[in-house]
Homo-oligomer: A and B are copies of this chain.
Amino acid sequence: MDLYFGNVNADGKIVLEDDEFRHLKVVRTNIGDKIKITDGNGNLFIAAISEINKHNYVATIETTLVEKISGPTLHLAIAPTKNIDRIEWLVEKCVELGINKFSFIQCRHSERKDVKTDRLKRIAISAIKQSGKSTLPLINEMISFNNFIQSELEEQRLICAMEAENDKHIKQLLKPGKNTVILIGPEGDFHQEEIRSAKDAGFLSTSLGPERLRTETAAMAACVYFNFNKHGV
Contacts and interface: CB of A to CB of B under 8 A. Distances in A.
A230 to B, nearest CB: 10
A97 B217 contact: yes
Interface string A202-231: 000000010111100100110011011000
A96 interface: yes
Nearest to A169: B228
Contacts of A228: 171, 224-225, 228
**Chain A interface SS verdict (over half):** helix
A213 B89 contact: no
Interface residues of A, number: 22
Given A171-B233, A221-B224, A212 B97 contact: no
A93 B98 CA distance: 19
A137 to B, nearest CB: 13
A132 interface: yes
Most buried by B among A97, A132, A224: A224
B171 A213 contact: no
A213 B98 CA distance: 10
A150 interface: no
B217 A93 contact: yes
B212 A132 contact: yes
Interface of A: 89, 93, 96-98, 130-132, 171, 209, 211-214, 217, 220-221, 224-225, 227-228, 233
Given A96-B211, A131-B211, 12 more contacts: A93-B217, A96-B213, A96-B214, A97-B211, A130-B214, A131-B214, A171-B233, A209-B227, A211-B227, A224-B225, A224-B228, A228-B228
7 contacts: A96-B211, A96-B212, A96-B217, A132-B212, A171-B228, A221-B227, A224-B228
